[in-house]
Amino acid sequence: MQRLHSNGHTPAAECEYYLALGDDIDILLDLIELSLRAVPQLSVQYDSSSKRQYGLSLNPEDAQKALNQRFRENGVGYEFTDGILIQKDSEILHEEVTKPALFLLQEQQFKGALEEFLQAHDHYRKGHYGDSILNAGKAFESTMKTIADKEAWGLTGRENASNLVALLITNGIIPDYLQTTLLALATLRNKVAGHGQGAEPVAVPEHLVNYALHLCGTNIVMLIEAYKEYSK
């Protein structure tokens, strides 16, 4: 099993030593995320005696619930879901946009889009704003491509967001008056993250990243729900 370092004799001691290396909040968040990811593996790998020895008292579901409850009680704007810590800037948007998008992507087997959507949130938490917007745009396009593949529309692989939105409109999944709205995310990505920065780095403000993530989640929820209705 991999270790955080060689000085700890128990997992708890390893975590304590690792935290003592610095006071960077990102180190703490990374450690929390790593620990919660390990719980499902350890629950299967260890017997009851080993679990008691290592202090593994909760099953994966209860461990996740306990962590998220502690976050809520202490006003920490994060939630552990789908194997990563997702930053919550608005409780309402998180509950009404982000979580439904994650659920629908899993339920409807949009695996590529789900991975990119999670990567977008992971980049946001780490402050990689350009990469966050880039992956949000990819997740949106992958959602549309998956729908096209399910319907066997014969994609060439060269379609961009504009082409894909047009396909959805032509085939009656979405109305044409949503075209401009759905292309807003692609426009934002192309302006701040889709191409080379040139001589001067492009500073991406946080409010644009929030907008991109929430717009991506909203678009995904709408598209999948529309496709479910279309497929009946």
Alpha carbons 94 and 195: distance in angstroms, whole number: 29
Minimal CA–CA distance to 25: which of 94, 133, 127, 121?
127
List per-residue pLDDT tens for the chain, 232 residues long: 345 555 556 667 777 777 776 667 777 778 888 878 877 777 777 777 776 766 676 777 888 888 888 887 776 778 888 777 887 766 657 776 788 888 888 887 899 999 999 899 888 888 889 999 999 999 999 999 999 999 999 999 899 999 999 999 999 999 999 999 999 999 999 888 765 554 455 678 889 998 999 999 999 999 999 999 999 8
Per-residue model confidence (pLDDT) at position 194: 62
Can you tell me the distance from the alpha carbon of 35 to that of 12, in angstroms, rounded to the nearest whole number?
10
Superfamily, domain 85-232: Nucleotidyltransferases  domain 2 (1.20.120.330)
Every domain range in the chain assigned CATH 1.20.120.330: 85-232
Give the pTM. Answer: 0.68
Burial of 69 (0-12, 13-18, 19+ CB in 10 A): exposed
